[in-house]
Structure 1
Amino acid sequence: MGGPSTVAETHDFLKNLFLDGDLIPLPFQRFLAPVIARRRTPQIEEQYAAIGGGSPILQYTQLQGEGMAKLLDELHPETAPHKAYVAFRYAQPLTEATARQLKEDGVQRAVAFTQYPQYSCSTTGSSLNELYRRGKAGEMGNIKWSVIDRWGTHPGFIEAVAQNIEAALAKFPPESRSDAVLLFSAHSLPMSVVNRGDPYILEVSASVAAVMQRLGYANPYRLVWQSQVGPSAWMGPQTSDALKGLARLGKNRVVLVPIAFTSDHIETLYELDLEYGKEAKELGMEVYRAESLNDSPVFIRALADIAAEHLRCTGSGQSPASVQLGLRCPGCTNATCGHSKEWFARGG
């Protein structure tokens, strides 16, 4: 999704977000989205001011990409040199700007590498649809494409998350450490998206199961959901409600784990740290958050391993897109999804 690097960019970020029918389907979207964005901007600007004046997601995404490309030169020299480009969905650099840069640089071979570990039509699907629209319009030149569309159970990703959980658990006294509840928190989805067959819930659950297996199931745990927007039904329980419920049950030691985010941004720095942290303190709870992956060398190595394996497979004649990417949700009514999947399956 990206995030505004400065407070002043907040309105444009929100407007782009609410204009995206893949993420938030709205009636009369072209007219309603700017209105909603204007109404929400003051509150969200305050939140970005509270976390330092903007989102660090671009900084970390660039750091991760550059580190991955450097390792990739060693892991897969046949396609070196490698260069990482950032294409955000709602903040600069937008896909439109990155498309122009790819064309100016004369890129002929590119991998669309989603930075959402778990696939959703609302996130990775929306980003690929936008890339398809730019490619179909000829804005990127003649590029041969392939796609890394999901990697939520990759051993390197799981190891990086597990190490950060272990570091958070180490803050509790040894005698009470095993009693701490691990709350894996992921961005929620509207139930209308879940019920049409979106795979996100299943894939996040698979990530959680893999992390707990790596940790030896040494702590009680639950998967919870955050960032609900609007009055419609969303996947629950909400993270805030789960904290209140645990306090009521006498479970006062918790580690919050951002399982679907790979770098710090407003949903970790404000929602998890400030908002839920304040609630937990008022409830008399001792809560620590597992660090985001950010500049973790284990995570950056995982990105390079994923990309290298992908390049080896596509180089040996395998399809440029996975079997899973080719399957539309059973309840899908978005024609662009079908066109996008066919386009990537052909290599662009």
Structure 2
Amino acid sequence: MATLAPPVTQNSTGSKGPTAMVFMNMGGPSTTDEVGDFLSRLFADGDLIPLGRLQSYIGPLISRRRTPKIQKQYAAIGGGSPIRKWSELQSSEMCKILDQTSPETAPHKPYVAFRYANPLTEEMYERLLADGFGGGKGGRAVAFTQYPQYSCSTTGSSLNELWKWRNRLEGKRATGETQPDGAITWSVIDRWPAHPGLIEAIAKNIEDQLVTYPMAKRKDVVLLFSAHSLPMSVVNRGDPYPAEVAATVYAVMQRLGFSNPYRLCWQSQVGPSAWLGAQTSDTVREYVKRGQTDLVIIPVAFTSDHIETLYEIDQEVMHEDAKGYPGVKRAASLNDSPIFIQALADLARDHLQSGESCSRQMALRCQGCTSERCLEQKKFFVGQSNLLSVL
């Protein structure tokens, strides 16, 4: 008589497990004391903020000048960013679901790797090695970007950093070999702009906010989707981010049945150079000035609350640009949304079962890309597919 298999737990291992699930994101300072280091790393990253040949000089200068101002902003939202809390919760809850839906790759162990704040990529990689992944022991890890829409300045930068530390700790500089025996085998979930679970989670939060308006006004409320902007130098190089953000917006509006007028706008511009617009703050001011005072601002490229939602939108835009207009509201961020966490688990399960090391899109460089580092990083992750086939 057949017996049911016991449920997979973190104390048991499937035939292809354990699997490290690494959430990659920009991160944010958990305390105001960490702001200086956070900004220093951010402005040193030419993938995110290209400052040219003088990056090593201009970057530290800008970060020092901006630190006091940014410290005040983090103090205004509670003394630090909640992004680590939400990232750790989302990754942990996702892994619990994965243990049930993908038992052959269990146990799934959650990790977080931030680009500019603790836990940094190198700290995460040291933890992987200490936990028995790689270092001659082999094992499987998935780099799961928490930027749903791919950009060379966000996901690309995080992958460049991961590739760098992998080489320092497990390959090339560490062993002299490109793929030493017993190194971690990596795969990447590099973009997911129109995943049905993501779209459903965003749409549900919009619907929850729309029902707060009187029925007679509801269909005329303008939906303003807001995403982090990019320098036009990055956009003109061929970065896919604007198109993928637009794909997310369109999929959400399809899910909503195009129930309301909508626009896509951009936030978080830094410095005097040209950035992708129109800016969210300018958009709200202009619509309010024209008498359109029922607006819902929707964070469409952020998977949790952080400084861009809690300060830039909630305090600068809503309490300054739209002061006195209660019809200007914000849809909730994804944070601990059960719909969103289930979407993460579905994405991860499908990726693990696909046997692919990354999307086909990731192998294609931007039209104007001249970065050898980017080229070599892409070659590495695409090449991991040969190793996945024998796991």
TM-score range relative to shorter protein: over 0.9
How many residue pairs were aligned? 344
Which of residues 241, 252, 255 is equivalent to 1:200? 241
Q: Which residue of 1 aligns with 2:48?
A: 23
Q: Look up the SS of the partner of 1:322 in the other structure.
A: coil
Structure 2: unaligned runs, 5 residues or longer: 1-25, 134-138, 172-181
- The one of 277, 298, 320 equivalent to 2:357 is 320
Displacement of 1:68 in angstroms is 0.3
Asked if 1:269 corresponds to 2:310, the answer is: yes
Which residue pairs with 2:372 in the alignment? 335
**Structure 1 residue 152 and structure 2 residue 152: aligned?**
no
Shift of 1:283: 6.3
For residues 94 and 308 of structure 1, what CA distance do their matches in structure 2 show? 26
Which sits farther off after the overlay, 37-46 or 101-110?
Answer: 101-110
Hey, what does 1:46 align to over in structure 2? 72
Match of 1:119 in 2: 150
Distance (Å, rounded) in 2 between the aligned partners of 1:109 and 1:284? 52
- Taking the aligned partners of 1:131 and 1:139, their CA distance within structure 2 comes to 11
For residues 285 and 54 of structure 2, the distance between their equivalents in structure 1, rounded to whole angstroms, comes to 37
CA deviation map 1:45-99 (0-9, x unaligned): 0000000000000000000000000000011000000011000000000001001
Unpaired runs of at least 5, structure 1: none
- 2:230 aligned partner: 189
| C-alpha contact 2:268 2:308 (8 A) present in aligned 1 | yes
- Give, in angstroms, the shift of residue 138 of structure 1: 2.7
Instruction: Give runs of aligned pairs for residues 215-234 of structure 1, distance below 5 A.
Output: 215-234=256-275
Q: Which residue of 2 aligns with 1:76?
A: 102
Q: Post-superposition shift, 1:279?
A: 2.8
Question: Residue type matched to 1:333 in 2?
Answer: T
- SS of the residue 1:85 aligns to: strand
Contact 2:288 2:322 (C-alpha < 8 Å) held by counterparts? no
Counterpart contact for 2:299–2:331, Cα < 8 Å: yes
How many angstroms apart in 2 are the aligned matches of 1:132 and 1:281? 44
Shift of 1:31: 2.2
Match of 2:82 in 1: 56
Could you tell me how far apart the structure 2 residues matched to 1:53 and 1:138 are? 34
Please give the alpha-carbon distance, in whole angstroms, between the structure 1 residues aligned to 2:336 and 2:325.
Answer: 32
Distance 1:310 1:65 in 2: 15
Q: Which residue of 2 aligns with 1:306?
A: 347
Instruction: Give the Cα separation in 2 of the matches to 1:35 and 1:246.
Output: 36
Instruction: Indicate the residue corresponding to 2:17 in structure 1.
Output: none
Q: What secondary structure, in the 3-state scheme, does the structure 1 residue paired with 2:219 have?
A: helix
What RMSD in Å do the two structures reach over aligned CA positions?
1.2
Cα distance, 1:194 vs. partner? 0.5
How far is the alpha carbon of 1:30 from its aligned partner?
1.8
User: What is the distance in 1 between the residues matched to 2:318 and 2:289?
Assistant: 16
Q: Which residue number in structure 1 is paired with residue 62 of structure 2?
A: 36
Percent pairwise identity: 61
Question: Counterpart of 1:200 in structure 2: which amino acid?
Answer: Y
Q: Which TM-score applies when normalising by structure 2?
A: 0.86
Deviation at 1:285, TM superposition (A): 5.7
Distance in 2, Cα, partners of 1:218 & 1:29: 46
Counterpart of 1:248 (choices 283, 289, 296) is 289
Structure 1 counterpart of 2:298, one-letter code: V
Matches of 2:87 and 2:310, distance apart in 1? 16
Q: Secondary structure at the match of 1:119?
A: coil
Could you tell me which residue of structure 2 aligns to residue 2 of structure 1?
27
Report the residue type matching 2:166 in the other structure: G
Q: Quote the Cα distance in structure 2 between the aligned partners of 1:280 and 1:34.
A: 31
- Greater Rg by CA: 2
2: distance between equivalents of 1:300 and 1:118?
17
Q: Work out the CA distance in 1 between the residues paired with 2:239 and 2:67.
A: 29
- In the alignment, which residue of structure 1 is the partner of 2:177? none
User: Is the CA contact (8 Å cut-off) linking 1:253 and 1:287 kept in structure 2?
Assistant: yes
Distance 1:213 1:67 in 2: 29
Letter in 2 for 1:24: I
CA–CA distance in structure 1, aligned partners of residues 213 and 334 of structure 2 = 21
2:36–2:64 CA contact under 8 A, matched in 1? yes
Q: Give SS of 2:84's match.
A: helix
Contact residue 145 and residue 189 of structure 2 kept, 8 A: yes
Structure showing the higher helix proportion among its residues = 1
Secondary structure in 1 matching 2:298: strand
**What is the distance in 1 between the residues matched to 2:342 and 2:116?**
27
User: Offset of 1:334 from its aligned partner?
Assistant: 1.2
Q: 8 Å contact 1:280–1:287 — kept in the other structure?
A: no
Give SS of 1:292's match: coil
Which of 109, 127, 130 lines up with 2:140 in the alignment? 109
Query: One-letter code of the match for 1:269?
Result: L
Residue number in structure 2 paired with 1:128: 159
3-state DSSP class of the match of 1:233? coil
